[in-house]
Amino acid sequence: MTLPEQDVVEHKVRRATAHFALKRISAIVEDDRRLDASKERYASWFLRYGIVLLLVACAVSARYLGII
Report CA-CA distances (Å) from 24 to 18, 28, 57: 10, 6, 47
pLDDT in tens, 24-45: 999 999 999 999 998 999 999 8
User: Does 1 have pLDDT greater than 70?
Assistant: no
Q: The pTM is what?
A: 0.57
Residue 46 is which amino acid? F
Distance CA 24, CA 28 (A): 6
pLDDT the model gives residue 54: 93
